[in-house]
Amino acid sequence: MNSSVSIAGKGIISAIGKNVPETLEALENSHAGIGKMNWLNSAHAAKLPVAEVNFSNKELADMAGMPVSTSRTALLSMIAAKEAILEAGIPDFSSWRTGFVSANTVGGMDKTEQFYSEFVNSPQSGKLRNVVNHECGSVTSLVADRLDVRHHVSTISTACSSSANAIFFGAKLIKHNFLDIVIAGGTDSLTRFTLNGFNTLMILDNEYCKPFDENRKGLNLGEGAGYIVLVSDRVTSTLPRKPVCALTGYHNANDAYHQTASSPEGTGSFLAMKGALEKSGLAGADIDYINLHGTGTHNNDISEGTAIKLLFQPPYPKMSSTKTFTGHTLGASGGIEAVFSILALEHGIVYPNLRLHDPMKELPFVPERNFLKNQKLRHVLSNSFGFGGNCSSLIFSKT
């Protein structure tokens, strides 16, 4: 019950790279993945920038080793999960009690939209196989079957906190001795349904997003997947190399302020970060870097910033929003940013908050605007806050 949970591997695909090495290079060179829509067929293509994974479904299917008829959400999931398992290099992988805890918010909606477009023109058109795997759990099951994970498979869908919740649920399964290994994280693909929904809320920026800027106007949507391999002490002892870090803190809170907004006072954000610190046994002064949720909306940035101002004291930790690189990947964001947090610890780096020109006047701190090397990082906090005030924070610590 008191055993530690180490990170043995990580995998990622997003608008800035199809794997960890490409992602790290993009981060080091401040190469954002936001741009014009190429793959999503939308009426808003000319005016709303997004952060798409720069591959067709056919190319993704080849990379994933899955049929091209598979939803884009599942293809992204498979690619990142396979990379995480490969990096983990766990001897006799199949002999351990293994779970797959994956998050998403969109399921197979891309295929459903394809079916509907054909069906609405003619009831005799449209392939029913495109709607069979519509719901979120089907995406997880498709990938778990390919990975041959049998002991535990579950899906979490709590909006933008989904994959952060998947990660700490996976950690709890290990700590309570239900499993030895958990591949945890999340995936989401861009769909017209999602884009139109966010556009209706009037929180999309028609320029590249600039979180924590006084003149911020909203977020850019993105897609991708990020997974980490959580392992027990018993598995860690068999690994060919010692894990660089462990998951030491996690907490979920809900301010229940509004269906699609966080409380201006940052109640949920504050409770999530405070709970994660208490779980880890750390104080605010021990955190060296905060990967901000940082969407770029007026509501999120003042809410998250206010919570940080209440919980931390000067000198504040270095912090930045990496959504300036990947866009907001929704259910995948917690998994993708967990990978970013681990990379920060491994390489002693801090990422820039791109396009930050006029820092918010209400806050006593300014997110980092430059890429920093040779940083002495011991503890990194990563925030993921979702609709309905569902707020989660993770703490990764160097081992």
List active site positions: 160, 293, 328
Helix (H) or strand (E) holding 310: helix 298-311
* Sequence letter at residue 75: L
Q: Which residues contact 288 (CB under 8 A, 6 or more apart)?
A: 317, 318, 375, 376, 377, 378, 379, 380
How many residues appear in the chain? 399
With beta carbons less than 8 A apart as the criterion, state whether 289 and 344 touch. yes
Q: Which of 353, 123, 98, 83 is closest to 216 using CA atoms?
A: 353
CA–CA dist 397, 342 (Å, integer): 9
d(CA 189, CA 334): 14
- How far CA 221 is from CA of 172, 322, 333, in Å, comes to 30, 13, 11
What residue type is 296 in one-letter code? G
Structure tokens at 233: 């002490």
Cβ-proximal residues to 182 (8 Å cutoff; 6+ apart), any chain: 98, 99, 100, 101, 152, 170, 171, 173, 174, 229, 230
Q: Give dist(CA 133, CA 71) in Å, integer.
A: 8
**Paired residues of 249 in beta bridges:** 395
Coil, strand or helix at 309: helix
d(CA 103, CA 8): 20
Give DSSP secondary structure letters for 93-158.
GGGS-EEEEEE-SSTTHHHHHHHHHHHHH-TT-S-THHHHT-SHHHHHHHHHHHHT--SEEEEE--
